[in-house]
Amino acid sequence: MESLEELFEEQLKDVYYAEKLILRNLPKLAKKVTSKELKSAFLEHTEQTKTQLERLEQVFGELGKKAKGKRCAAMEGLVAEAEELMEEAEASAVRDAGLLVCAQAVEHYEIARYGALSAWAHKLGEKKIAKLLEQTLAEEKETDAKLTKLAESEINVEADVASEKKSQSRRGESERSGARVRS
């Protein structure tokens, strides 16, 4: 690989492969989470991913090339981590929090890729391509921000666990006092 054009095309294939992988796997994650908000965030991003793939196909078209993916080991690794978590942990708010972080890692990867690709497109004087990539970059950033908000609001794992423990011990106390009344 010697030119920026070549590097650009390589990375374009990488992200095309990555998006296809996400399109297949994000609905699986959505099925497994217990939080309604997280589920709908995953499903919404699945729809966005379809548009993002179309944009990438447009970019390939602008370059006079056929859309083609190249195996992306990084994204495969991120997907494998999420799969592991789904197998090993029972459905719970804690697992939701883990899957949310997996999804965020995916977004961060994509943000890095689209950021570089759009910068390179500008360098190469490909304004139309840069615009397409920037649209997707903005969507990925929005999704990331949304996930951060969800992580902060709803899935405050420690708080959930602590309040559950408290209510369990309260239940224990009332059962014990009930036993005393009966005796």
Contact 48, 135 (CB under 8 A): no
Based on the shown chain and the rule CB under 5 A, indicate whether residue 104 belongs to the binding site for Fe ion: no
Nearest distance in Å: CB 144, Fe ion: 10
Name the residue nearer to Fe ion (CB basis): 91 or 138.
138
Longest dimension (CA), the chain: 87
Stretch that binds Fe ion, among 5-13, 50-58, 77-85, 97-105 (CB under 5 A): 50-58
**Cβ atoms < 10 Å from Cβ of 87:** 7
Going by C-alpha positions, the residue among 118, 111, 120 that lies closest to residue 1 is 120
The size of the interface with Fe ion (CB under 5 A), counted in residues, is 2
Based on the shown chain and the rule CB under 5 A, indicate whether residue 118 belongs to the binding site for Fe ion: no
The torsion defined by the Cα of 32, 35, 40 and 41, in degrees rounded to 10, comes to -90
Stretch that binds Fe ion, among 29-37, 66-74, 83-91, 108-116 (CB under 5 A): 108-116
Name the residue nearer to Fe ion (CB basis): 25 or 52.
52
Q: Is 132 helix (H, G, I), strand (E, B) or coil?
A: helix
Q: What is d(CA 84, CA 170) in angstroms, rounded to the nearest whole number?
A: 35
Name the residue nearer to Fe ion (CB basis): 77 or 172.
77
Nearest distance in Å: CB 150, Fe ion: 18
Selected binder of Fe ion within 52, 55, 75, 117 (CB under 5 A): 52
Q: What is d(CA 107, CA 114) in angstroms, rounded to the nearest whole number?
A: 10
Q: Which residues bind Fe ion (CB under 5 A)?
A: 52, 110
